[in-house]
Amino acid sequence: MSKNDNQRKILIVDDEKDMREILGDRFSAEGFPVLLAGDGKEGLTLAFENHPSAILLDIAIPIWMGFKC
């Protein structure tokens, strides 16, 4: 198990690239490993593969809107 496996990962799902990057940069600066997804399908895949501790989800995104994920 690597060092990052023990850290609390955050998944950010937002179709607005600037918002994803701003949030990702902020959480990374605080020491959290961050996963970024641009739509619901990608977010769901990353969630199943990486088991993040928290998910920040934009509810109005293309491809499987937040309410359906």
| Average pLDDT over the chain, rounded to an integer | 87
pLDDT digits 0-9 by tens, 1-46: 445 556 799 999 999 999 999 999 999 999 999 999 999 889 999 9
Rg for the chain (alpha carbons), in Å? 12
pTM of the model: 0.82
Q: How far apart are CA 17 and CA 68, in angstroms?
A: 21
Confidence band of 68 (pLDDT split at 50, 70, 90): low
Q: How far apart are CA 21 and CA 4, in angstroms?
A: 20
Per-residue burial over 20-34, b if 16 or more Cβ lie within 10 Å, else e, is: beebbeebeeeebbb
Domain 3-57 -> CATH class: alpha beta
Query: What residue spans define the domains of the chain?
Result: 3-57
H-only helix segments in 1-69: 17-29, 40-50
